[in-house]
Amino acid sequence: MDKLLALTTLLEVADAGGFSKAAQRLGVATSSVTRLMDSLEASLGTALLTRTPRKVSLTDAGIAYVEQVGKVLDDLAEADESVFDSGASPVGALRISVPSTYSRLRLAPHLAAFLCANPRVFLDVVVADHFSDLALDRIDVAVRIGLPDRDANLIVRKLTDNPRYVVASHDYLARCGTPPTPDALASHECLRIAYGGGYRSRQVWAFRRESVEGRVEERVEVRGHLLSNSLDILHEAVLAGRGVALLPEWLVGDEIRAGRLMRLFENFDASPHQGDAIVYAAYLPNRRHSSKVRALVQFLEARLQMALEG
C-alpha cells in the first residue's frame, strides 16, 4: 500500500463524503478508492470510516486521525514548496496578515498589481488587527503598525514611516477654539485610541520639534468622552466635530488636503506614545530565503513609500 496516496485519498473521501465522489475528484475508479481505504484501516487495526448506502462519514477515530494527517500533509507540502521557493522566481502560496483599516486604504489597491507581477504566487490575505502568532497561524508575512521592538524574535523590515497628525473639524474649532500650543489640549475634548485601559486610563500625547536650541519635547495628558480601539470610529467622530484626534496620515491626509479637517501643530511630530511607530513587515527567520516573501516585502516597500510621498 502506498501510504502517502492512502492518506491523501482519505482526506478526499472525508471531504467528499463518499467513495464515488472522491474517485471522480481523483480521476480513479471507485473500486480503487474502496480497496485503498480498506487497506489503510487494516494496517491501523481500526475503523476510520462508517459506510452507509447514502454516505460515508468518519468515525471518532477517523476524525482524530484526519486532523493529524491534515497537519502532516500540510507540513510536507510546505517543505516541498520551500525548495521551489528558494529559487529566483517567487512561487507558491503566500499567506499574509494585515491590519483592517490600513489594508483597505493602503494595501488592497496594490495587491492585484503584485499578483500580476508574480503570476505563480497564490495570495491568502488574513485581515486581523491583533498580532497573530506567525508560526501557529501559518503566516508568511505580517504587515504591522507600531514599534517593531516587540517582534525581537522575528525578522523585521521597515516598509514606510507612519506620521500622525493632530486634527479637528472646522466646526469643532469654531465652537471650542483652536488650541494655540499642544499643552492647550489638556482643556479640549480629545478622541483617544484604546490601548487596553478603560476610559479613565491616563493617556499622554508626545510632541517633538527641532529648534535652534535643539529638540523641544512636550508631553500632554489628554482626556475625552470617546475611547475606541477602532481608528474608523475615531475618524468618523472627528469628522463629525466631536473633538480633536491624533490619527495617522494615511487615514486623514485626504481630508486635510480637501479642507474637511484642519491639521494642528504642523511644526511638531506627534505620537500617542514614546517612540516612532512605523509600518513594517515581520516574518519568521525560516522565511528569510523565501523568494515570495522577499518579492512581497520589496513590492510593498516601493508602493507604500510612493503612496506616502504622493
Average pLDDT over residues 92-100: 93
- CA–CA gap between residue 27 and residue 9 (Å, rounded): 11
Q: In the predicted model, is pLDDT for residue 81 greater than 70?
A: no
Cell of 18: 463518499
Residues 6+ apart with CB under 8 A from 151: 144, 282
| H/E stretch holding 63 | helix 60-85
Q: What is the DSSP string of 71-125?
A: HHHHHHHHHHHHHHHTSSS--EEEEEEE-HHHIIIIIHHHHHHHHHH-TTEEEEE
Which CA distances in Å does 304 have to 23, 49, 158, 276? Answer: 47, 51, 11, 17
- CA–CA gap between residue 188 and residue 23 (Å, rounded): 69
Q: At 258, phi and psi to the nearest 5?
A: -85, -5
Residue type, 139: I
Of 276 and 70, the one with more pLDDT: 70
In this predicted model, what pLDDT tens digit does every residue of 9-24 receive, in sequence order?
999 999 888 898 889 8
Which CA distances in Å does 157 have to 74, 195, 271? Answer: 27, 24, 21
At 78 the pLDDT is 67
In this predicted model, what pLDDT tens digit does every residue of 193-247 receive, in sequence order?
887 666 667 789 999 988 777 778 889 999 999 999 899 999 999 999 999 999 9
List, in order of start, the domains of the chain with CATH numbers: 3-84 (1.10.10.10), 92-162+277-309 (3.40.190.10), 164-271 (3.40.190.290)
- CA–CA gap between residue 116 and residue 305 (Å, rounded): 20
Residues pairing with 222 in the sheet: 203
